[in-house]
């Protein structure tokens, strides 16, 4: 674990300098030169692109693809237009007033469908951003919602919506016609939380283990268990994929008859997403993605090697403290440091925060940053064979929700807190 007293002293001295959390992470890759010492030779770059991946099978026959950090962290030569081709969101226009968008889908002809949880609606827009029609309202009948989420699917024209309050799924056509309701035959494994995605009738879900009261009273990290499963809501059948144990919080004291806990910085939960036939899974720590079939078995492992680790050093801690002080201006630096000291922190940052599979089968791994909605997003891109091809920066503040062959779709909040849905053109280089 990190020796906090030493790091905090250095962090205090460095306070006020700009934080570039990935500077070491990227500069180390950019400065390494190939044979002969040339940093810009096309032949060296081509050699790295061709030979930096290794393929092997473990004793159980699982195919493992490994990519060196030098290749995985190099800038990917794809282009995203700086100006969006479609923008939806306005305080003045009722049809474009958005609140809590929970899913996006690109439509044929250049339109967009979005799920707005504030209005409990599916809204359909044409290629110019004009509302064509809306589906749904608050209620409990067919086609009505209480707490809806659009479930991630990669293939097919149907729209699958999970309702966390009514505990049911509803299926709609691509144009919003109600098809049917899928009621649960038993308890949903994640409470009111939506599945991470669906492959046919199989819903990808993460079930956290509740912490017992006895464990919560003990000072120190609170270990949690996360079971990743395929769940069939119609039958209640489950297939186990993987189990992870993580400590995301710690008990730091007592207040009356209750334990007091605090989040452990620089940690994240295990995560998963779906392809058209499998699940892509991230364990919350390592620079590795595992593919599991609907039978639960792991089939492939995509791994980044050689220097991917990003240490929790003085610069990282200082940036973390400055961020929290900016959100709590009435607190002092000393108070923020005391809170930080109250819980342990890991020695290194998680590799990723989330995963996304685009519509042509490429895997997008969001590079971890402790600020969920930071001012820029950085993604490590893997091809369908599992080779990490490089780092791509997306437009400032954009939460990416859907990626096609030539576009990215996401949500961004402006300086007034107004929510916008934006689509940008994506041009893939020779890698894509």
SS3 38: coil
Q: Are the C-beta atoms of 281 and 290 separated by less than 8 Å?
A: yes
| Residue at 19 is within a domain | no
Residue 38 pLDDT class (50, 70, 90 cuts): very low
Place of tokens 């810009």: 40
Which domain CATH number covers 126?
Answer: 2.120.10.30
- pLDDT at position 12, please? 41
CA distance 166 to 154: 25
Q: How far apart are CA 285 and CA 56, in angstroms?
A: 22
What pLDDT is attached to residue 19?
34
Q: Which residues pair with 352 in a beta bridge?
A: 367
Q: With respect to residue 429, please indicate whether it lies within any of the assigned structural domains.
A: yes
Q: Which of 148, 196, 208, 204 is nearest to 172 (CA)?
A: 148
Q: What is the pLDDT of residues 277-298, one digit of tens each?
A: 999 999 999 999 999 999 999 9
* Residue-averaged pLDDT of the chain: 86
Q: What is the pLDDT of residue 378?
A: 94
Tell me what pLDDT residue 171 has: 96
Lowest-confidence segment of 147-156, 288-297, 386-395 by average pLDDT: 147-156
DSSP β-bridge partners for residue 260 = 253
Confidence of residue 216 (pLDDT cuts 50, 70, 90): confident
pLDDT at 156: 75
Report the pLDDT value the prediction gives residue 349, as an integer from 0 to 100: 95
Q: Is 248 exposed, middle or buried (0-12, 13-18, 19+ CB in 10 A)?
A: middle
Q: How far apart are CA 104 and CA 116, in angstroms?
A: 10
Boundaries of domain holding 422:
92-183+397-432
pLDDT reported for residue 210? 79
Rounded distance between C-alpha atoms, residue 293 and residue 242, angstroms:
12
- Residue 371 token pair: 């600020």
Provide DSSP, 169-219. Answer: EEEE-TT--EEEEEE-SS--TTTTPPPSEEETTEEEEEEEPPPPHHHHHSS
Is the sign of the CA dihedral 112, 113, 117, 121 positive or negative? positive
Residue 107 belongs to a domain: yes
Residue 144 domain-assigned (yes or no): yes
Residue 422 lies in a domain: yes
User: Would you say residue 10 has pLDDT above 90?
Assistant: no
In tens, the pLDDT along 249-267 reads: 999 988 888 899 999 999 9
- The structural domain count of the chain equals 1
Percent of the chain with pLDDT over 90: 69
Q: What pLDDT is recorded for position 47?
A: 31
In the block, which residue shows the tokens 């950090």? Answer: 69
- Is 56 within a domain? no
Q: How confident is the model at residue 25 (pLDDT cuts 50, 70, 90)?
A: very low
* Residue 357 located in a structural domain: no
Pairing of strands 63-68, 298-305: parallel
The residue to which tokens 């995301």 are assigned = 248
pLDDT of amino acid 1: 52
Q: What is the spatial distance between Cα 337 and Cα 4, in angstroms, rounded to a whole number? A: 9
User: Is residue 164 in a domain?
Assistant: yes
Tell me: pLDDT of 354 over 60.
yes
pTM: 0.85
Q: What is the mean pLDDT of residues 19-32?
A: 36
Q: Nearest 5°: CA angle at 410, between 49 and 27?
A: 35
Q: Which of 306, 269, 309, 307 is nearest to 286 (CA)?
A: 309
On the question of pLDDT at 52 being above 90, the answer is no
Count of beta carbons in the 10 Å neighbourhood of residue 89? 20
Q: What are phi and psi of 321, to 5 degrees?
A: -65, -40
């Amino acid at each position: 674990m990190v020796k906090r007293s030493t790091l905090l002293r250095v962090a205090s001295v460095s306070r006020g300098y700009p934080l570039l959390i990935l500077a070491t992470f990227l500069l180390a890759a950019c400065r390494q030169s190939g044979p002969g010492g040339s940093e810009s030779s096309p032949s060296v770059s081509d050699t790295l692109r061709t030979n930096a991946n290794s393929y092997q099978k473990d004793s159980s026959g699982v195919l493992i693809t490994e990519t060196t950090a030098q290749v995985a962290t190099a800038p990917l030569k794809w282009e995203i237009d700086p100006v969006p081709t479609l923008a939806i969101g306005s305080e003045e226009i009722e049809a474009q007033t958005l609140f809590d968008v929970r899913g996006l889908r690109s439509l044929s002809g250049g339109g967009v469908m979005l799920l707005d949880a504030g209005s409990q609606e599916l809204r359909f827009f044409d290629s110019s951003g004009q509302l064509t029609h809306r589906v749904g309202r608050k209620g409990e009948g067919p086609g009505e919602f209480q707490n809806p989420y659009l479930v991630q699917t990669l293939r097919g024209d149907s729209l699958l919506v999970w309702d966390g309050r009514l505990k049911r799924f509803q299926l709609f056509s691509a144009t919003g016609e109600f098809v049917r309701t899928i009621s649960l035959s038993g308890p949903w494994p994640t409470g009111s939380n939506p599945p991470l995605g669906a492959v046919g009738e199989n819903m990808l879900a993460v079930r956290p283990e509740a912490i017992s009261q006895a464990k919560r009273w003990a000072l120190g990290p609170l270990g949690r268990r996360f079971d990743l499963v395929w769940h069939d809501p119609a039958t209640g059948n489950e297939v186990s994929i993987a189990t992870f144990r993580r400590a995301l919080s710690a008990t730091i004291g007592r207040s009356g008859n209750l334990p007091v806990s605090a989040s452990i910085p620089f940690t994240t939960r295990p995560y998963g997403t779906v392809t058209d036939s499998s699940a892509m899974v991230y364990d919350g720590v390592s620079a590795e993605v595992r593919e599991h079939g609907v039978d639960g078995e792991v089939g492939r492992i995509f791994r980044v090697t050689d220097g991917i680790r990003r240490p929790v050093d003085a610069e990282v801690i200082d940036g973390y403290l400055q961020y929290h002080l900016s959100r709590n201006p009435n607190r002092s630096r000393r108070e923020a440091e005391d809170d930080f000291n109250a819980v342990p922190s890991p020695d290194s940052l998680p590799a990723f925060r989330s995963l996304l599979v685009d519509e042509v089968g490429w895997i997008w791994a969001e590079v971890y940053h402790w600020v969920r909605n930071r001012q820029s997003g950085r993604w490590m891109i893997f091809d369908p064979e599992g080779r990490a091809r490089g780092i791509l920066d997306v437009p400032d503040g954009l939460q990416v929700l859907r990626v096609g062959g030539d576009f990215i779709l996401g949500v961004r909040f402006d300086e007034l807190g107004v929510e916008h849905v934006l689509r940008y053109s994506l041009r893939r280089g020779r890698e894509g």
